[in-house]
Amino acid sequence: MARRDDVLGVAGAETVIGAGVVVEGDLHGDGDMIIDGTFTGDIKTTGDVTIGVNGTIKANIEAANVTVGGSLDGHITASGEASIGESGRVRGNVTSAGLAIAPGGIFVGSSRLRQAARLDLGDEEA
């Protein structure tokens, strides 16, 4: 039966894994991914990854931006932002350009913020 708290807004996401679906293996792609089921393996994309409230993930995630609304046991490497929602639980390390944790969100691990690239004008400025 479809759940009322299923992830909305699937339009535009290349990959959508619904609640009740169990996936095992390597999920690699170029587009956005929304995962609301159970996943074990490795996730890598140049797009964004959203873990829905029903999502139970045991994986390392490498993506542009990562949003966690469910449960993640694994490391996040994001070129952009990582965020943990009010129902999100992350156990692992996060390397990202920014990290946001909503009230109620749980994070157990370490966070490393990437420094923004500095413009090196060097001798040209003189």
Binding site for another protein (CB under 8 A): 1-2, 6, 10, 13-29, 31, 37, 41
Identify the three-state secondary structure at position 113.
strand
Q: Which is nearer to another protein, 3 or 114 (CB)?
A: 3
Residue 60 vs 93, nearer CB to another protein: 60
- Shortest Å distance, C-beta 62 to another protein: 15
Question: Is residue 17 a contact partner of residue 23, using CB atoms and an 8 Å limit?
Answer: yes
Shortest distance, position 14 Cβ to another protein, whole Å: 6
Tokens of 81: 């932002």
**C-beta of 19 vs 68, nearer to another protein:** 19
The token pair that represents 68 in the structure block? 């966690």
Nearest by Cα to 67 from 54, 89, 43, 84:
84
